[in-house]
Amino acid sequence: MEGVELKLDHRGCLEVNVPGITPEPVITNDLVEIHDTGGGFTWLGRYDNVINSGGIKIIPELLEQQARLCTGFECLVLPEPDRKLGEKLVLLVEYSGENPPMEKWLHCLRNSLSAYEIPRRVLTVSELPRNNSMKPDRTSAVRLLL
C-alpha cells in the first residue's frame, strides 16, 4: 500500500503510519515480524498474551500452532503462577475422548520446541471456553487452572 509505513515499537508491536488518513501512527498490541521486502509482515501473537517464564518471554500463539500439529486438536498455551519461574506454561487441549495420548503429544512437542517452550503441564477439557465470536477465551481458560 503506497504511503503506508510499517514499523515496530519498543515492544516489537506493529505501528502503522498512514499519512493523510490518521494524524498519529496507529499503535497495536500485535507482535509482528516485518518483511525486508514487499512491505508485509508476519503476525506472531498478541503482546497482552506474552508469558514470562523464568525471564524468557514466550508468545503462546506460536506454541499453539505447533501444539495443534502435535495433538490434532484446538489448544491454548496458558500461564500458571510458579514460585521459581514466575509463570510456567500449561497446555490446555480440547479433547473429549478417553485416555488422551499425552506421551505421544509430549514427545512431538519435545522434538519440535525448545526446552523452555515445553509446557510443564498438559490438561484436557471437553470444550475450551469461547467468547461471543467463538474464539477460545484465554481469560476464562486461565480460571480453569485455578
Domain range for 39: 5-47
Task: Report which of 56, 27, 32 is spatially closest to residue 44, judged by C-alpha positions.
Answer: 32
For the segment 69-90, what is each residue's pLDDT rounded down to a tens digit?
A: 999 999 999 999 999 999 999 9
How is residue 87 written as a grid cell? 509463570
The answer on 73 and 123 residing in a single domain is yes
Residue 139 has pLDDT above 90, yes or no: yes
The answer on 99 and 29 residing in a single domain is no
Residue 1 has pLDDT above 90, yes or no: no
Total domains in the chain come to: 2
The answer on 57 and 100 residing in a single domain is yes
Output the domain CATH number for residue 87: 3.30.300.30
